[in-house]
């Protein structure tokens, strides 16, 4: 089903820090499952989400480089954590820390991908927003290769890769971390 792309309003949706937005896709990124909170926050009915490509939520402020890195990790069988700004159906947005996981069949082949999302804390958004807008600016003026090269340079200086950087910045800790791990186990 094709859905016309919403126009961003610049308004942020406040997420409940205690709830998780969960979705599952096939290997091409087509949504096969979403929990109730996913529908509530995105503003799409379950029937609109199931079968749709996950880029239905793509916000134009998200650099291509981040999704490129994400897919590179997943396709090579590695989980990854990323900070993502998503676009709801009414054009409002919400920032999430997302844990992308791989689900394999008994033969070890990748069957599905899972995404577990939580509200991104304010300090995480404050740290990420200027980096993403720089990457976007580079992509507008040059291309994605140039923005990836910039990101690599930025992270090299910190002696980290993107995944380590995000884990250190945004990995849920304490009680929230425990709930997060427990909830992920339920889907394992």
52 is a contact residue toward ligand FMN (CB under 6 A): no
Q: Is 121 left (phi over 0), alpha (psi -120 to 50) or beta?
A: beta
54 is a contact residue toward ligand FMN (CB under 6 A): yes
CA dihedral 42, 44, 48, 50 (to 10 degrees): 40
162 is a contact residue toward ligand FMN (CB under 6 A): no
CA angle 45, 48, 49 (to 5 degrees): 90
Of the residues 57, 80, 83, 119, which one makes contact with ligand FMN according to CB under 6 A: 57
| DSSP helix/strand/coil, 18 | coil
Region from 12-20, 55-63, 134-142, 180-188 binding ligand FMN, contact rule CB under 6 A: 55-63
Residues within window 58-117 making contact with ligand FMN, judged by CB under 6 A: 58, 62, 67, 84, 86, 100, 113-115
The least CB distance from residue 25 to ligand FMN, in Å, is: 4
Instruction: Please count the CA atoms within 13 angstroms of the CA of 81 that sit on its side-chain side.
Output: 18
Nearer to ligand FMN, 77 or 158 (CB): 77
Neighbours of 142 (CB within 10 A): 12
Torsions phi, psi of 124, nearest 5?
Answer: -70, -45
135 is a contact residue toward ligand FMN (CB under 6 A): no
The least CB distance from residue 73 to ligand FMN, in Å, is: 10
* Binding positions for ligand FMN, rule: CB under 6 A: 23, 25, 29, 54-55, 57-58, 62, 67, 84, 86, 100, 113-115
């Amino acid at each position: 089903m094709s859905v016309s792309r919403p126009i961003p309003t610049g308004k942020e949706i406040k997420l409940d820090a205690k709830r998780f937005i969960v979705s599952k896709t096939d290997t091409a990124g087509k949504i096969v499952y979403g929990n109730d909170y996913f529908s509530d926050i995105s503003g799409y009915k379950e029937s609109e989400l199931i079968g749709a490509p996950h880029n239905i939520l793509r916000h134009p402020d998200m650099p291509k480089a981040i999704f490129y890195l994400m897919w590179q990790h997943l396709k090579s069988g590695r989980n990854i954590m990323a900070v993502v700004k998503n676009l709801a159906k009414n054009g409002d947005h919400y920032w999430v820390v997302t844990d992308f996981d791989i689900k394999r069949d008994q033969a070890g082949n990748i069957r599905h991908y899972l995404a577990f999302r939580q509200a991104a804390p304010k300090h995480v958004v404050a740290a990420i927003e200027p980096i993403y807008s720089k990457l976007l600016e580079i992509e507008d003026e040059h291309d994605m290769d140039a923005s990836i090269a910039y990101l690599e340079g930025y992270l090299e200086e910190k002696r980290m890769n993107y995944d380590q950087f995000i884990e250190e910045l945004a990995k849920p800790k304490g009680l929230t971390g425990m709930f997060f791990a427990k909830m992920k186990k339920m889907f394992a």
